Structure 1
């Protein structure tokens, strides 16, 4: 199914109240992160004090939305022990927090009785879902959109169930 999906920044710019992100993969092969991941593997760590080193368009979009009053939340469902990629994500999550996101982590073993969507997603204002599609090895494949009200309700309920059980980022250790 071919579908034109607006850029994330445009979707977030249209948000008025909330944007939630549900991540459920243990590995992502996202091309624009490969260099950063490789540097992290080699021992490089971003510094909280050197924002110019890591701040980017994504952080700008989130910070602008939060400044408008949009609540931006991200929940990550992860296997434990965590993968190397999740250790990398955990070490960089301070960037999301600095942009204004609230972030929580849920060990997959605590999600067994939850009904979760098959794909990662962003839900904007409980009106539009942007699903992220990935191959088995984590390579980004594309996005699809849905404004189906029943699906939005189910996805929202799933996110809230994860959020309620998950550990805030500053308390989750790996």
Structure 2
């Protein structure tokens, strides 16, 4: 059983997601993973099924092996309302460093295209088996 202090189904994040989905907003998350996956990715997959998906997020997973021919931004990112990109920067050991924002139409187009390419190949949360 997973114990997630402050990260349960009632957390602020999941409340935000439920409210957005109730307004008709699609919240989609695509995760690229190296295989074999780490224990943390197994944990992330379990948490996603327990909390993110029930809150309304649509989540798909794609092995990096299936993304070799895709042009992808070099950092994790979120696109908001097709007008703002938030890039996440991490240290070499995976610690969050800072975020960068862009409203540049070219950058937004790049990120949207990359996301859709990944989304079209990725496997739904319920069908993905972390290996």
What TM-score comes out, normalization by structure 2 length?
A: 0.92
Instruction: Determine the C-alpha separation between the residues in 2 that align with 1:137 and 1:120.
Output: 15
Aligned to 1:129: 85
**2:97 is equivalent to residue 141 of structure 1:** yes
SS of residue matched to 2:18: helix
Give every structure 1 segment of 4 or more consecutive aligned residues whose post-TM-superposition deviation is greater than 2 Å: none
- TM-score of the aligned structures, taking structure 1 as reference length: 0.70
- Report the RMSD for the aligned CA atoms in angstroms: 1.6
Q: Deviation digits for residues 113-161 of structure 1, max 9, x if unmatched? A: 0011111111001100011111110111011110000110010000000
Structure 2 spans left out of the alignment, 5+ residues: none
Q: Counterpart of 1:170 in 2: which secondary structure?
A: coil
Instruction: Name the count of aligned residue pairs.
Output: 127
Q: Deviations over 1:27-60 (max 9, x none)?
A: xxxxxxxxxxxxxxxxx425xxxxx971211111
User: Is the helix fraction higher in 1 or 2?
Assistant: 1
Q: Please, which of 59, 62, 67 is the counterpart of residue 22 of structure 2?
A: 67
Structure 1: segments with no counterpart, 5+ residues: 1-43, 47-51
